[in-house]
Amino acid sequence: MRIELQKRANTSMLFSLLSPLLALALTLIAGAIMFGLLGKSPLNSLYIYFVEPLLDVWSLHELAIKAAPLILIAVGLSVCFRSNNWNIGAEGQFTIGAITGSILPVLNPEWHSPLILPLMLVMGMIGGALYAGIPALLKTRFNTNEILTSLMLVYIAQLFLDWLVRGPWRDPQGYNFPQTKSFQPEAVLPEILDSGRAHLGIVFALIAAVALWFMMRFMLKGFQVSVLGQSERAGRFAGFSARRMVWFSMLLSGSLAGLAGISEVSGSIGHVQPVISPGYGFTAIIVAFLGRLNPLGIIASGFVLALTYLGGEAAQLSLGISDKVSRVFQGLILFFVLSCDTLIHYRIRLIVNPSAAQEGKS
Amino acid sequence: MFEAILLTVITASTPLVIAALGELVTERSGVLNLGVEGMMIMGAVAAFATAQLTGSAYLGILGGIIGGGIFSLLFGFLTLTLVANQVATGLALTILGLGLSGQLGEAFVGMPGVRLQPIVIPLLSDIPFFGRVLFSQDLIFYMSVALVFGISWFLFKSRAGLKMRAIGDSHGSAHALGINVVRTRYLAVLFGGACAGLAGAQLSLVYTPQWVENMTAGRGWIALALVVFASWRPLRVLAGGYLFGAVGIGQLHAQLLAQSGGIAIPSQLLSALPYVATIVVLIIISHNRRTTLINTPASLGKPFVPDR
């Protein structure tokens, strides 16, 4: 038996919409099998993992808190990936954004001005953008591979954060815990509803997603992104600069990752500590692909991936399964979505008897 | 003292060399597999589990090779049969590998491991200095050296290697000549996965004989950088691997020295050195566009669908 691909004349609209759903269905099936192997009832486990977190107000707020950074980072990455720039160091840009955004409240804990929060957000965005500027500079100036440099910078950013909160930024009254003082109330991102913890971060994420959707759909810049991503040569003939696109996409995604970082620290943590992210920067890569690199699709996929984090916590509590299951789920989703995307461009034929097909050809 | 440092450098460099050699073969066939980190950690957990369950470190090595190899076939199926994007699929492999290994290895956390014992080669190991350093090592070290020369010979002296390089440089032409592009690439991906698995086995059986989550700590990515550094040549992988291993061990010793000497160098700064070194090396190697273009397999990362 052999699998053969046949190029479609046009990309299939049907499968463009269907492929993410198909991927999710396959993930659920694989998940059911996995829970079965772990000796749990598959259906009950899936219910606890994927449905129960949606049933009370508290966890809906948690869902919004986790979806916010995922969507913010992923919409930025979608522009990068579409333009064929592989920024996979968003986790590092998130970390640096959190650090530069926190400079004001950490160094001026007594500054009680309404100005502080907007300044923090802007500084977080600048920090993230500058950090993403390093791989952009290295790519445009020295031709280095941005995948490897942006990833190496993640490790460096995390070590830098670790040094800061154990060294110069450590709260002297903090009983030797490696963390800064809690931010003053003016430096905390406000909650959006009275019913729970969800903060403005999710609003930023939705605004960014809609804005980038508009750019990709209706503006020349969006067209440049697609053309240069599909064929740099074609883009050059149209007078678009690939070099400038590297800068644009990296700085854009870096600033959004930075905004996500400072929003997370200011909105849901309230101080700076050695670990501020459960891998949002990497999970956002999955979010971007599950949303088919479309900002509106990414809103939906951001919530799906946020659910895998919550489900992981729920499964740990009520099933006694380690929360590492959620990492497995996330990996599986990306695998299935990439496989299902093949259906958009190709028809898949199963050829049962390859030797007969060979003879027919010759 | 010097001998002891040299021995630790060799132990730290061997996994980098092996993983990079495997990726080199994969890339020479025109496939970019960014999942080295994921295959390596799967190899590490498979090797540890096998050694733990059978009590034999040698079966552990085999387990690591098989674990990494099987995992790489997942990548092969997606990118070669379903022509999915290679960069994205490689990332998926890494994410899945890190998650799955954490899940599988949960039962082994904190267990004392089975250490792979050195094989002392008679006579040769009696040579002063070099004998102890080079001929009283474990099997995986000997395998790494054999792989360097074996792959060199295969790529540049054998007919099959020539075909593989032809595929990597122009899969269209190779296909037109009647070479089976997809089959060769499957084998190259499998070989890369097996090597990454072997490198992972070295980590959990020799370097630190225990299971720790995320114990690869970015070594898979450094191996990827090594392939670029070596401009796709096996002997240079050997040199580069030892350079990176020395940087890693050097920073550890610097941390100890700083501690005992009371010098206030932040340990995080020294821990960041291998990653900084990787970036610096990439800049030095890549800045000349023309030589990079000549050395890189021309079909690297490009999808191939056989026409009928």
The Cα of A186 is separated from the nearest Cα of chain B by a number of Å equal to 32
- Please say whether the beta carbons of B185 and B29 come within 8 A: yes
Pick the CATH number of B2-295 from 1.20.1740, 1.20.140, 1.10.3470, 1.20.120: 1.10.3470
- A40-56: average pLDDT: 88
Instruction: Name the residue facing B286 among A143, A147, A325 (closest C-beta).
Output: A143
Instruction: Concatenate the DSSP letters of all residues of A14-73 into one string.
Output: HHHHHHHHHHHHHHHHHHHHHHHHTTS-HHHHHIIIIIGGGSSHHHHHHHHHHHHHHHHH
Q: What is the pLDDT along chain B (308 residues), one digit of tens a residue?
A: 778 888 889 999 999 999 999 999 999 999 999 999 999 999 999 999 999 999 999 999 999 999 999 999 999 999 999 889 898 899 899 999 999 999 889 888 888 888 888 888 887 878 877 777 788 788 999 999 999 999 999 999 999 999 999 999 999 899 999 899 999 999 999 999 999 999 999 999 999 899 998 899 889 999 999 999 899 999 999 999 999 999 888 888 888 888 787 777 888 888 898 899 999 989 988 888 888 888 889 889 888 887 75
**pLDDT value at residue A361:** 42
Segment 61-100 of chain B within 8 Å of chain A by CB: 74, 78, 81-85, 87-89, 91-92, 95-100
Confidence of residue A360 (pLDDT cuts 50, 70, 90): very low
What confidence category does residue A1 fall into, taking pLDDT thresholds of 50, 70 and 90? low
Q: Which segments within chain A are labelled E, that is strand?
A: 2-7, 346-351
Give the pTM. Answer: 0.90
CATH number reported for the structural domain that contains residue A206 in this entry: 1.10.3470
Domain count, chain A: 1
How is chain B split into domains, by residue range?
A: 2-295
Task: Give the 3-state secondary structure of A315-359.
Answer: HHHHHCCCCCHHHHHHHHHHHHHHHHHHHHHEEEEEECCHHHHHH
Q: How far apart are CA B216 and CA B44, in angstroms?
A: 8
Q: For residue range A214-264, what is the model confidence (pLDDT) as tens digits?
A: 999 999 999 999 999 888 889 989 889 999 999 999 999 999 999 999 999
CB nearest to A325's CB, from B34, B103, B228: B103
C-alpha–C-alpha distance, residues A303 and A296, integer Å: 12
**ipTM beyond cut 0.90:** no
Location of structure tokens 């450098």 = B9
What is the predicted pLDDT for the residue at A354? 55
The mean predicted confidence, pLDDT, of chain A is 90
Name which of B88, B279, B282 is nearest A289 (Cβ-Cβ).
Answer: B88
A121-127 mean pLDDT: 97
Domain ranges, residue A34: 2-361
